[in-house]
Every structure is written in C-alpha cells, then in structure tokens.
Amino acid sequence: MAAILPRAGLRALRTLPRATPVARGSFASTLPRTQRPLAQPITRRFLATGIPEQPRLRLGSTAPNFKAQTTHGEIDFHEFIGNNWAILFSHPADFTPVCTTELGAFSKLKNEFDQRGVKMIGLSANDLSSHGDWVKDINEVANTNVQFPIIADADRKVAFLYDMVDQRDIDNIAEKGIPFTIRSVFIIDPAKKIRLIMLYPASTGRNSAEVLRVIDALQAADKKGIATPIDWNVGEDVIVPPSVSTEDAKKKFGEVRELKPYLRYTNF
C-alpha cells in the first residue's frame, strides 16, 4: 500500500522550516490569511512519527475509527455512531460560502435524518476556535439551528485517514502547503461498514436530497432484499435481484412485472 506522500514530496517537506506561501489562484488564496493552510503542521505532526499508510476505503470495509475534538466535545467515532447509521461529510474551511450553504441545508434536514436513524457529523479543516462563530453565521444565513457536531481537523488527520484530499494538492504540497479537504460524504451503517462514498471538488456544492435518497435506497435494500432503479424514490417500484427466481419473487413480493428475464419490477 502506497504512502500518502511521494518520496520526492517528503524530501521537499523536510527542508521546509517555515510555512510556505499560498499559490495565487488557488482555493486557499481566496481565504483570509489567518485561515490559509500552513506546511509546518504537517511536517511536524505527520513526518515526526512517520507517514501513515493510506487505508483502502472500499465499500464494505470498516470505517476507520478515530478520536477528535468537535463542537460537542471529544468523540470516539465508532462510539458516536453506536447502533445507528451515520453520515460523515467534510468541508474545506470555516467561513467559506459553499460550505456555509451546505451545512445550513443539512441542518434543516435533521428531522429527516432522525427518522431514518442517521446521525450526522461534519468536518472542517479548522480548529475549534472558529467553529463556534461559523456555526452562528450558518444559523443566521440558513435560518436554522445546527445541532450536529463538527469535527475540528486543522492538522488534517481525519482528512488523510479518509482520503478527503485532492491528488493535485498532494502533488504540490511543498509549494501550496497542507491541503484543504474536498467535499466528501461517507454513509456508514450500524456495523461500521462504509456503504456509500461521494466525492466532490471544493468548487461544487452537494445535493442534500440525494444523500437522503441513497440512504433510503440502502435501507430498503437491506430490509427487503431488493435493488433500486435509476432515480428511485420511496414509494416507487423496485427491482427484483437476478439471484431471486420469478416464482420465489412472487411468493415474497406478490405481483412481479417482467420486462426482461433479468429485469423485473415489484411494488415496495
């Protein structure tokens, strides 16, 4: 398994005594200077103990556990999930426009996630000193009340653990400094298994309704042993898996509509 940083990057990082300037035109250059990334934290905190290997975050693999400070205090991630489903979603930085709209939208859907037994937890590449004031802005802009925790990940330990970084930022870490996170969504089931991953660049906001839709699809598949077609929503017909014969499907589901021997629909 390859290390997070290429050897050439490591040699360059070891020679950096101070923070490196932010490249013009980069996402980080649009932020206030106090929020721009520094190279020094990653050299001191990561390289001092050796470079951690990147975990293989495949669907069905166990979500890596971690402890972190959040706006609700210190958490152990697996203990936080408990016997629930969970979504972990990352944001590049506090006080940035796209992130503010996203957290506001997720906050407004809290009751929807609660009904599905899903716990939400956000992550931003800043420390706790700014999270509180940012949450106030989110509440004001979105007319909401953010109640889920937001992880403080200024040193990007969780971001690297979950591969929430752009390869271009890794390749240019010596010039640009420690990278911000991309917009990642991890849907994790009660067994702590990763069931779905969505990755978005920093410039593109997510669709909160799609996150709910795929949670519905995953839970329906687990409960009923079915599959869901394109653009499926709750209440629409579902697909009988090829592993189930038509005869058995009729016994289990009742009416079965066959378009092709391998494409059969039933009511959900």
Q: Which of 4, 99, 103, 158 is catalytic?
A: 99
Give the DSSP per-residue string, 1-15: --BSS-HHHHHHHHT
- Close Cβ partners of 261 (under 8 Å, ≥ 6 residues apart): none
In angstroms, rounded to a whole number, what is the distance separating the alpha carbons of residues 108 and 148? 11
Helices (H), 96-150: 97-108, 110-115, 128-142
Q: Taking the alpha carbons of 36, 39, 171, 58 in that order, is the dihedral positive or negative?
A: negative
Q: How many CA atoms lie within 13 A of 265 on its CB side?
A: 11
| Separation of alpha carbons 153 and 68, rounded Å | 8
Output the CA angle 174-178-182, nearest 5 degrees.
Answer: 125
Place of tokens 């016994």: 251
Residue 61 CA to residue 159 CA, distance in Å, equals: 17
For 22, the token pair is 């932010």
d(C-alpha 212, C-alpha 198), whole Å:
13
Does the annotation mark 190 as catalytic?
no
Residues identified as active-site: 99
